[in-house]
Amino acid sequence: MNNKFTKISNPFRANGALMPDSSLYIERAADQELYTTLQTGQLAYVFTPHDMGKSSLASRTAARLKSDGVHVANITLSGIDSSTDTNHLYQWFIKRLKAELNFATHPVEWWNQKTSSNLKERLQIFITDVVLPEIDGPVVILIDEFHLRNKDLTFVKELLDIIVWCYEERQNKPEFERITFALFGVLTVGALAAKTQKALLETGKAINLQSFSRQEAQKFEEQMNALYLEKGEAIFNRIYYWTDGHPYLTQRLCQAVTEIGDVHWDDERVDNTVRSLFVSSQNQESNIQSVKRVLEESDKKRQLFNLYQQILDDEHSIKDDNSLMKNRLKLSGLVIAENGVLQIRNSIYETIFNKNWVEHSKPANWNRRLVITLTLLMLVALGATGFYTIQQHQKAVAAEEMMNDFHNAVSSEDKITSLAGLLQISGHEDKARQLFYDELSFDDQLELFNLSDPESIAEDLVTVVSGFYQDSRLVNNEQNNTLLRTMADPLTRLEYSSALRSVELELEITQWLRGREIYLTEGEVSQAIQAYDIAIRMHYNPGTYFDRGLMYARQGQFELALDDFTATLNLDNSWLGTVQKTITENPELYAATWTYANNYPSITGIVPTPTNTPTQTATPTMTASPTPTFTPSPTATSTPQPTSTNTPIIIRVTPTDTATPAPIFVPSATPSIPTGEFTLLTPVNLANPSYGITTFEWAWSGGDLPSEFGFEVRVWKDGRFQAGVHNAVLDNQNGTVKKIGSDTYQLTTDISGAAGVQKTSGIYNWTVAVVRISPEYADIGEVADSVQMRYAAPGPKGGGGDDKDGGGGGGKSVGID
C-alpha cells in the first residue's frame, strides 16, 4: 500500500453542500436558469430527489447574487418537526433573517412587543415594517429543506402562505418587487396546499436539476487523472457507468476509490467497491435509505411498487404523464423521465432495487376476505386505523413473540435464532441490541457464541454477528475486543457460501481487531492505520472508521480524523455521542474542528462552539501511552445509545459568505428558556485593544440561570460565523464564567487562538448568548446585540505591544443596549 498516497487530503466530498468556490463544483443548466430567474424577481423552486446538489446550488447562487450587490438570506429548515413550538420557530426564522441580512431592528424584541396572536400576520408585518424599509436594494431569500415530512407543519404551511402573499402584494405595493424567494426541497408541487400549488404554477418557475452529463463530469475525471495518472480516465469511466452522473453517488464513489489509495485499479475492482459501498451496505448508506424512505412513507405504497414493477418488466413502455403517482416515484430518485418514458436512474439503483427487492418489500396483497377479517379484528383491538396500523401491529406482535422466545430459550442456538428473527423485523432491530447489550452480562454475551454446532444456525449466526459487531458501544478496549473475537470465532467453523459471506465477515472483524491490538499492545499508530485501511476495504464499518480517525488524531492529522468521524456518522448515527465526546475531550482535535469548520458541517453541528485554549479542568490529552486516554471506553453493557428524545435537532443555516455559521439548534422538546435583556459592559472601546487575555463583562436582567443553561461569549469578524471564545459547557460548569455582582457576569480568557480570531489583528464583533449546556449543548436562548472590539496580535507584525499582563480588555464603560 502506498502510505504517501493515503495521506493526501481527499478532494472529493459527498456530504453537505460544496463551498461556492469549490474546484469540484460542476455548473449545470440549472445554475444559470436559477440565477436569471431570481435576477428578474420571479419565484423559483427546485424540487428534486435527495442528494442531487440542491444545497450546493443554493450556496453557489447566493454567492453569485451577493457579488452583484444583492442582499441574500440562505436559510435551511432541516430538523424542524411538530415537537417544536410554532412561535419558537417564527422567532428562530426572524433571527436567521437578522443574521443573514443584518438589518438594525432587534427581531425578538420587536416580536415580543407585538400583541397580535396571529403569528403569520406578525411575520407579514415584520417583512413590511422591518425587512423592506431597513434593507436598501433587492433582497433574495433562499429557503432549503422543504420536504414531505415537514410540509404539513403549521409553520411551514404558513411560511409558504406568506411567500405567496409577498408576490400578491406586488400588485399594490411596488416595494415588494424588491423581495424574491427561491424554495428548495424533496417535494412535489402536488403535495402542497391548493393555494400554494396555484401560486407556484402561475407565478413560479420550476428549476430542473439533472444528473451530471459525461461532459459536465470532466472535472472529476481530471481529478482522477491527477491522482492515478494514466489509469484515471478508465477508473472514472467505470465509476460513471455505475452512477450515470448522479451527484452524490459519483462524489461518494470517487471519494471511496481515492480513500483506498493504492494504484491497482481495474473495472472489476471498481465493481467490487460499488458492491461493498452500496449493495452489501445498503441498509446503512444514506442515499439508499432516502430512496426507500420516500417510497415506504407514501400512503400509496403498494401502487408505487406496482408502478415500479411495471418499469422493471418493460423499461421502455411506461410513459411519464406527470401523474401524482409517477411524480412521487420520480421524487424518490429511483427513476427519471427520458424522452417521455420512465427509466431507472442508474446501474447502482438497478442492482439494488431489482425484482427480488420489490418482491420482498412490496406490501402483502391481502385477498378481500382476509382484509375484511383483519379489519374487523383491528376495529375491536385498535380502532379503524388503517392497513398501516395493521402491519405495524403485526410487526409488534411478531417482535414480542421473538423477545419472549429469547427470554424462554435455554440454549445459545435458540437465543441466537430469536435475536436473528428480531433483527429481521423492520423497525425493531434496536430491541435485539437492547436484549443483547443491556440484559445480558458480559459473561452471558460470551457464552451466547459458545456454540457446539454453529453450522445448524449458520444464517441466523451471520445475521446476529452482522447486526451487533458495528455497535457504538464496542469502542476499543480489552473487554470489547474479547467480545468481538468471540463473535467472530464460530464464523470460522461455517461451511463457505458466497451468499452467506461468513468468511468475509470473519476476516473483516479479525483485521479490525488486529489494528486495535497493534495500538493497545504496541502503541504503533501507523501500523494500526494500515490494518484499519485493509479492514475498511473489506467493508465500510463505522467502528473501523472511528478507530482510524482516533489514530489520525494521534498523529496530528486532524483533517483525516474528521473525515473518518464524518464517515462514521454517515454510516451509523448512533455513534454520535461517542464522536461528540471524543472531539470535545481532545483540545487539539476540538480546535481543528472549527479551524476546518466549513468542511465538516455534520461535526460542527454536534459540538459546542469552539474553545480557544485547553480549559483549566483536567481534560484528557493525547500522550505517548498506547492507551487512547481521550477515547471513551464504556463496557459493553453500560453505555446507552443516543436516542431521539434527548438529542437536539440541528437546523443548519447556510452562511452569508463562505464561512460556516455557529450551529443553531431547535430542541426536540421546547424547554423553559430564560428570558431577559443583556447589557454589554466591556470591552467597548476600540482605542484600547486586546493583546490576547481579555476580560468580558456583561449585565443580565433575567436573574440566575437554571443549572441546565449558561452564558457563551462569541467573537467574530463581519461576514464570518459567531465563534465562541470558550467551551460554554465546561466553563459554566467549572465556574470560569463568574458572577461578580447582583446581575453582572465576567469571563476572562485568552482570545488569541479562538476560532473567530486565530491570532489575526483587526476589529471584531463580540456578544453574549444564553445557551443550554445540559444534557446537550443547544443554542436556543437570547443573544445580545453585538458591539465592536479591537484585537492586536502580540509582536511587531501583529501590532501588539509589551503590555505585561497581556490585557487590553478595555475599561469600564456605560451600558450599551
DSSP letter string, 370-387: HHHHHHHHHHHHT-S-HH
* Higher-pLDDT residue of 182, 608: 182
What is the rounded distance in angstroms from the CA atom of residue 653 to the CA atom of residue 154?
21
**Mean pLDDT across the stretch 735-747?**
90
DSSP letter string, 414-436: HHHHHHHHHHTSTT-HHHHHHII
Q: Is the pLDDT of residue 665 over 60?
A: no
**What per-residue confidence (pLDDT) applies to 809?**
35
Name which of 61-65, 172-176, 391-395 the model is least confident about.
Answer: 391-395
- Quickly state the pLDDT bin for 513 (edges 50, 70, 90): very high
What is the rounded distance in angstroms from the CA atom of residue 323 to the CA atom of residue 303?
12
Identity of the highest mean pLDDT range in 33-37, 308-312, 420-424, 745-749 = 33-37
What dotted CATH number matches 29-206?
3.40.50.300
pLDDT above 70 as % of the chain: 82
Segment 134-179, tens digit of pLDDT: 999 999 999 999 988 888 899 999 999 999 999 999 999 999 999 9
- Quickly state the pLDDT bin for 5 (edges 50, 70, 90): very low
**Mean pLDDT across the stretch 472-476?**
91
**What per-residue confidence (pLDDT) applies to 119?**
94
Q: What's the whole-number average pLDDT of the chain?
A: 81
pLDDT above 90 as % of the chain: 39
**What per-residue confidence (pLDDT) applies to 383?**
52
Which three cell numbers, joined as nine digits, stand for 165? 402573499
**What per-residue confidence (pLDDT) applies to 808?**
34
SS3 239: helix
Q: Which fold has domain 671-791?
A: Immunoglobulin-like (2.60.40)
What is the rounded distance in angstroms from the CA atom of residue 344 to the CA atom of residue 312?
8
Residue 441 CB coordination number (10 Å): 10
The 3-state secondary structure of 70-91 reads CEEEEEECCCCCCCCCHHHHHH
Phi, psi for residue 501 in degrees, rounded to 5 = 55, 35
Q: What are the domain boundaries of the chain?
A: 29-206, 213-263, 286-361, 366-455, 671-791
What does each C-alpha distance from 647 to 512, 668, 689 come to in angstroms?
29, 7, 40
What is the rounded distance in angstroms from the CA atom of residue 780 to the CA atom of residue 286?
28
**What per-residue confidence (pLDDT) applies to 373?**
58
* pTM (predicted TM-score): 0.51
Name which of 82-91, 379-388, 474-483, 799-808 the model is least confident about.
Answer: 799-808
Q: Is the pLDDT of residue 768 over 90?
A: yes
Segment 23-32, tens digit of pLDDT: 889 999 999 9
- Quickly state the pLDDT bin for 8 (edges 50, 70, 90): low
**What per-residue confidence (pLDDT) applies to 622?**
35
- Quickly state the pLDDT bin for 48 (edges 50, 70, 90): very high
Q: Which parts of 705-816 fold into alpha helices (H)? A: 728-734
Q: Is the pLDDT of residue 508 over 70?
A: yes
What are the strands, taking DSSP E only, across 491-636? Answer: none
Name which of 121-135, 674-688, 722-736 the model is least confident about.
Answer: 722-736
Do the bridges between strand 738-739 and strand 723-724 make them parallel or antiparallel, or are there none, so unpaired? unpaired
- Quickly state the pLDDT bin for 692 (edges 50, 70, 90): confident
* Higher-pLDDT residue of 162, 722: 162
**Mean pLDDT across the stretch 426-450?**
90
Residue 487 CB coordination number (10 Å): 23
What sign does the dihedral 602-763-615-777 (CA atoms) show?
negative
